Amino acid sequence: MKNYKIIIQYDGTKYKGWQRLKNSDLTIQGKIEAVLSKMVEHKVEIHGSGRTDAGVHALSQTASFKIETPKTEKQIMDYLNRYLPDDIGIISVKEADERFHARLNVKSKTYQYRIWNSELPCIFERKYTTQITSTLDIERMKKAAEYLIGTHDFKAFCSNKKLKKSSVRTIDFIDIKRVENEVLITIQGNGFLHNMVRIICGTLVEIGLYKRETDSIPEILNFKIRENAGETLPAKGLTLLNVEY
């Protein structure tokens, strides 16, 4: 069988996340597996670079799978796009090395959180942004974000209190900028815990609203207690931008 690498875009609004669920067909993985299985007439399992949560979007999610088919790469992509829902799209299909695995070979991921920072409504981007009406102090947020760069134990920024694996991760950079009424928080790291990006962004937002001090981050990291960090911002503002191998 040949091994394939695909790049996927999706609007996660109505889905229960990436990961296949037994009692629901509203997952990204489940939808793609169903179409591939129909195409080759046997069950196909795909592996994503990671599990995006319910309501989270992706501009460039990566997945891999092994199938035997006479179809070309373009024919596979055309078939998938023909039968997948309109809010899931395949933008690339390439044959990969037989040892390539979309999750195990990841070097880094980049996420972006979009905040509509205005009292005015944002009609056409409302599904992809979280509205915060009070003005955010971007410079305070940038200063606080510097404490998160590097390798740390991010247990305080994880929603899974029963996590058994290591909660140590490395963040390469956090870029925060304002573009007119929108505040964009872009984070790249070697991996992320459950809700980690949304909790980091929630903590930075609280700092931007003067609800926390800019130098409160080291203490949050050191004590490793979830309740010490900020709120988990809504899923709809988060998009997986890119996965590097």
Catalytic center residues: 53
Q: What is the rounded distance in angstroms from the CA atom of residue 171 to the CA atom of residue 14?
A: 29
How far is it, in rounded angstroms, from Cα 58 to Cα 111? 9
Q: Using alpha carbons only, what angle is made at residue 107 by residues 69 and 62, rounded to the nearest 5 degrees?
A: 35
Q: Is residue 69 a contact partner of residue 40, using CB atoms and an 8 Å limit? A: yes
φ/ψ of residue 161, rounded to 5: -75, -10
Radius of gyration of the chain (CA): 19
Cα(138)–Cα(184) distance, rounded to whole angstroms? Answer: 10
Helix 73-83 to helix 28-40 angle (10° resolution) is 120
Dist CA 112 CA 199 (whole Å): 13
Backbone angle region of 138, left / alpha / beta, with phi > 0 → left and psi within -120 to 50 → alpha: alpha
Cα 206-151-103 angle, rounded to 5 deg: 100
